Amino acid sequence: MTTREPQAPPLARLAGLIADESRATCLLALLDGRAWTATELARHAGVAASTLSEHLGKLVAGGLLAEERQGRHRYVRLADARVAQLVEDLAAQVGPGDAVRPRGLRESSAGSAMARGRTCYDHLAGRLGIAITDALALRGLLRQDTGFALTDTGVRWFDATGIVLDRKGWRPLARACLDWTERRPHLAGVAGAAFCRHALDAGWCARIGSERAVKVTATGEQALAELLGIEATALR
């Protein structure tokens, strides 16, 4: 007699939702933490609007996306930070040899920009995210020996720097997120989100076009050098 595993059917349904290239493309695009219109996602995924609408319907019904309508526009975003973590963790399992080669200079440049610095839902990733994580650890503000955790000194540093930590809710203060380009963990959780939000609001970083890629501004280079001793060459 076969024992039925109660979690197997929902797990299979979840895997099936992601196991489509167009839907995977949408999920990865939405890791920028913003809401996209269906039209924008259709253009990004390279599929017809009607086809994309079917995909979005499945992702919304499956709980991976949340949607809202404003006038005639339909906006979608990742349902929450747990979905973002799932997508990023799965992306990190793709080996370098499995990735599709860029089809031209434009794709190659976009890939280089993403590897240099990008948002991973609501925190910073790529070489930028790793540089910040390493600098926090070097100064005793972040522990990595038993999982990621801000030290008491680290909590005071965030407060003194004016980076507000929202300590309400279910999210951990600090969490390790495996970086799919660097193959090392960067800072996520409440602290990672707060740092990213502050960096964008303060003009330390600026988004590049409609992609997740971000670049460090001259103001950001100076701030990161003064606050964390990060050299500008590590951010370029």
Specify the pLDDT at position 105.
Answer: 43
Is 69 domain-assigned? yes
Would you state the torsion angle of the CA atoms of residues 4, 8, 10, 13, taken in this order, to the nearest 10 degrees?
-120
Q: How far apart are the first and last CA of the chain?
A: 60
At 221, which amino acid appears? E
User: Given pLDDT bands bounded at 50, 70 and 90, which one contains residue 98?
Assistant: low
| Domain extent at residue 111 | 100-235
164: which 2 tokens?
A: 């507000």
We report the CATH number of the domain holding residue 42 as 1.10.10.10
One domain, residues 73 and 169 = no
Domain count, the chain: 2
pTM summary value? 0.74
Is 95 domain-assigned? no
In our burial notation (b when 16+ CB lie closer than 10 A, e otherwise), range 52-84 reads beebbeebeebebbeeeeeeeebbbbbbebebb
One domain, residues 105 and 219 = yes
Integer Cα distance of 127 and 111 in angstroms: 13
Render pLDDT for 50-66 as a digit per residue (tens, 0 to 9): 999 999 999 999 999 99
